């Protein structure tokens, strides 16, 4: 399997598959394809797995595309302006990401829901109790709204983030929610009550365009029905 990412603010992922190679995505996630490629749609792992994925922002059904020739091509586009993030996952490696971040992956990759163990992170983390865990082995691709910033945290190093700007992090990173200190900061800073606290070691992916912020901005210009 080979891939190419084109574009700037609205990127497109093009994947070239050899005979027998497969890639899967959520229902409706494919943009276009060229060559002899079979489609198979199911709940991938059973009904409970499908329901779990739907809780984590993905579709109940997943579609697997399998090439029947060398050099067949298939493309995927993000649902919002942003970046496509390629991840080469080993047999024992995984990434935890926000709802609806999964784009597509090789057939060997596993996509599951991820529950927060800590009550504070679940209630106030911006994504609720449920995130996604993408596990290897294989290539996986995420879609992150806006621009992307990667931060590598050393052991014990801490990063505080507005929860809406947190896109993904490695499982070795400790994730919790802390309350903003000071009444003036709470009421007048415009940053909300809580910040995400991430402690290394591990890698963190940050995004610059939380979709909730974009939706709130666009809502100002949508006429309200009388």
CATH number of the domain encompassing residue 13: 3.60.160.10
pLDDT for res 217: 78
Classify residue 32 as left (phi > 0), alpha (psi -120 to 50) or beta.
Answer: beta
Please indicate, yes or no, if residue 149 is contained in any of the structural domains: yes
- Average pLDDT score over residue span 214-220: 79
**pLDDT for the residue 206:** 96
Residue 208's pLDDT is 92
**Which residues is 198 bridged to in the sheet?**
159, 175
Mean pLDDT of the 118-133 span: 56
Q: How far is 142 from 116, CA to CA, in rounded Å?
A: 20
Residue 221 domain flag: no
- pLDDT for position 2: 96
* Spatial CB neighbours of 176, under 8 Å, sequence gap ≥ 6: 118, 120, 121, 196, 197
Q: Which domain, by its residues, includes 187?
A: 2-215
Mean pLDDT of 204-215: 86
More confident position, 93 or 219: 93
Q: Tell whether 225 is covered by a domain.
A: no
Q: Tell me, yes or no, whether 22 lies in a domain.
A: yes
Nearest to 27 by CA among 7, 52, 50: 50
Please say if the pLDDT value at position 132 is more than 60: yes
For the chain, what is the domain count? 1
Residue 127 has pLDDT above 60, yes or no: no
Q: Is residue 162 part of a domain?
A: yes
> Using 50, 70 and 90 to split pLDDT, how confident is the model at 215?
confident
Distance between alpha carbon 175 and the CA centroid of its chain, in Å? Answer: 16
In a domain, 223, yes or no: no
Q: Is residue 24 part of a domain?
A: yes
Tens digit of each residue's pLDDT (9 = 90 or more) over 22-75: 999 987 789 999 999 999 988 765 545 545 545 545 556 889 999 999 999 999
Task: Give me the phi and psi of 163, to 5 degrees please.
Answer: -55, -30
Tell me, yes or no, whether 224 lies in a domain.
Answer: no
Determine the pLDDT at residue 62.
Answer: 87
Each residue of 148-206: pLDDT tens digit? 999 999 999 999 988 889 999 999 999 887 766 554 444 444 455 678 889 999 999 99
């Amino acid at each position: 399997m080979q891939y190419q990412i084109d574009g700037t603010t609205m990127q497109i992922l093009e994947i070239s598959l050899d005979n027998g190679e497969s890639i899967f995505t959520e229902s409706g996630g494919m943009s276009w394809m060229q060559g002899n490629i079979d489609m198979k749609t199911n709940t991938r792992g059973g009904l409970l797995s499908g329901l779990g994925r739907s809780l984590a922002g993905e579709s109940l059904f997943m579609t697997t595309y399998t090439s029947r020739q060398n050099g067949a091509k298939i493309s995927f586009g993000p649902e919002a302006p942003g970046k496509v993030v390629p991840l080469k996952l080993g047999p024992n490696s995984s990434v935890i990401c926000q709802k609806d971040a999964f784009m597509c992956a090789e057939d060997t990759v596993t996509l599951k829901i991820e529950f927060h163990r800590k009550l504070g992170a679940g209630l106030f983390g911006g994504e609720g109790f449920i995130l996604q865990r993408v596990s290897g082995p294989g290539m996986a691709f995420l879609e992150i709204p806006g621009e992307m910033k990667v931060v590598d945290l050393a052991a014990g190093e801490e990063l505080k983030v507005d929860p809406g700007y947190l896109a993904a992090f490695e499982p070795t990173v400790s994730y919790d929610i802390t309350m903003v200190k000071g009444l003036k900061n709470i009421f007048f800073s415009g940053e909300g009550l809580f910040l995400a606290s991430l402690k290394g070691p591990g890698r963190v992916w940050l995004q610059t365009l939380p979709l909730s912020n974009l939706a709130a901005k666009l809502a100002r210009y949508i006429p309200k029905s009388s």
